[in-house]
Amino acid sequence: MTAYDYDVVIVGSGPAGIGAATALSRAGVKNIVVFDRETEIGGIPRHTHHASFGLLVFKRPLKGPKYIRALIKRCPDVQFQTSTTVTALHKDGIIEIATPDGMETIRARHIILATGARETPRHGRLTSGLRPQGVMTTGALQQFVYGAKLRPFKRAVIVGTELVSFSALWTLRSAGIKPVAMIEENPRITAYRPATLFARLLRVPIHYNSQITDISGISELREIRIGTHSGQHRTIACDGVIFSGKFVGDNNIARASHLTESSTTQIPKVDQNWISSDPKVSIIGNAVHPADMGDQCYIEGVSAGQTVAKILQDGPDAGGIIEITHGKGIKMATPNILRPRQGESTSIDISLHVAAPYTGTIVVKFEDEVIYAKSKRCMPARRITLKNVTLNVTDSDPAHHIHISLADI
């Protein structure tokens, strides 16, 4: 087989996928398609009706759907195909798709996976109790409220205090649903502290150091019980529970394919230009760093699209891979591999997320040499960027190794 159906197939029409499509189209790549399994394009912002997008890209806050419309205007020539799920990825740029008309196998010169992230639902958190209706994630809540114009319950509890948890609070309020409590397993909220003022304004108590110990109700949720490690318990009457945050990359396609992944984070390997272990496949956006803001994903998509346009013209960089690993206290770091340019030193930005609050030095070592050391204040669920980490290695001996650590733990 030699003929290609497309120059580039992009999987996912969220901000990252649209960014990549825009850059490719502007670079003159004509034969691009963006597939999305949903009936509408736009990824998460299409159902997030808060003015929490666009500050970096448009210098003003926009609601999700308006943000997507503004992004789409930047790539008028790109073909989007909805209701199309990519079900498998193979070597040599081959993918399988499922559409309402059936299954198809297609081939592209390059594939960009921009499949986003999802919140950890109840089963992933090992929450005990019965399984009545009314338990969902923020994403599902927003699809009910803003997409289907439904009010799935009347009194709801939000589990988690990440930024998205306050987005859930906002969504409940917009839908006329009473938020009765927020539950946080740690002694402080995960989002920026001022977010507590919003909860206070709405008279929503935040229960710290707490977890759900029971969910009651057979067909409908009646109440939940929460407990602390010190043995205190409390019952909260509610008919809805929203599990918010604890994002994981939606990497089912990559994980079932020939692509390799980090053995510690199970995130697919991507280099400084978002190219995976297969030089014909890039992975971008929240699929590889769950979960950053829409603007960050769009900007990254643009940069990845520019790289792919160059690869289509000049061919991929030859050369091997150097692993980037991380130590205790770091939840994930991207890129997690480096492809050094032959004969040149390489300067990269590394973004990382910590597992627990940390203030102290972050050190990056190449073999035993410290190539970066800076003090940072880090909170979980917030992206920390290590800028211009410069490496004077010009070969990619697989024995080379880059390691990131939190020096003070």
Q: Which of 8, 9, 10, 44 binds ligand FAD (CB under 6 A)?
A: 44
Which of residues 36 and 278 has its CB atom nearest to ligand FAD in the complex?
A: 36
Tokens of 137: 């994630």
Quick note: the x/- pattern for ligand FAD over 171-210, rule CB under 6 A, is: ----------------------------------------
- For 157, 166, 186, the CA distances from 228, given in Å and listed in that order, are 16, 22, 10
Which of residues 47 and 109 has its CB atom nearest to ligand FAD in the complex?
A: 47
Q: Please, what is the Cα angle at 386 between 382 and 391, to 5 degrees? A: 150
Q: Contact, 72 vs 46, CB < 8 A?
A: no
- The 10 Å Cβ neighbour count of residue 75 is 21
First to last CA, the chain: 54
Q: How many Cα atoms sit within 13 Å of 24 on the Cβ side? A: 31
Site for ligand FAD (CB under 6 A): how many residues?
38
Q: Contact, 251 vs 170, CB < 8 A?
A: no
Nearest approach in angstroms of CB 45 to ligand FAD is 5
Q: Which of 112, 242, 253, 389 binds ligand FAD (CB under 6 A)?
A: 253
Which of residues 84 and 396 has its CB atom nearest to ligand FAD in the complex?
A: 84
Q: Which stretch binds ligand FAD (CB under 6 A): 24-32, 103-111, 112-120, 342-350?
A: 112-120
Q: 6-11 and 32-35: which strand pairing? A: parallel
Give the residue among 382, 346, 330, 349 at the shortest CA–CA distance from 191.
Answer: 382
Q: Which of 94, 236, 293, 393 binds ligand FAD (CB under 6 A)?
A: 293
Which residue(s) pair with 97 in the sheet? 86, 104
Q: Contact, 223 vs 217, CB < 8 A?
A: yes
Nearest approach in angstroms of CB 399 to ligand FAD is 34
- The 10 Å Cβ neighbour count of residue 314 is 8
Nearest approach in angstroms of CB 46 to ligand FAD is 8
Q: Which of 37, 188, 365, 400 binds ligand FAD (CB under 6 A)?
A: 37
Quick note: the x/- pattern for ligand FAD over 47-86, rule CB under 6 A, is: -x-x-xx-------------------------------xx
**Chain residues in the site for ligand FAD (CB under 6 A):** 11-17, 35-38, 43-45, 48, 50, 52-53, 85-86, 114-117, 119, 138-139, 142, 164, 167, 250, 253, 285-286, 291, 293-294, 297
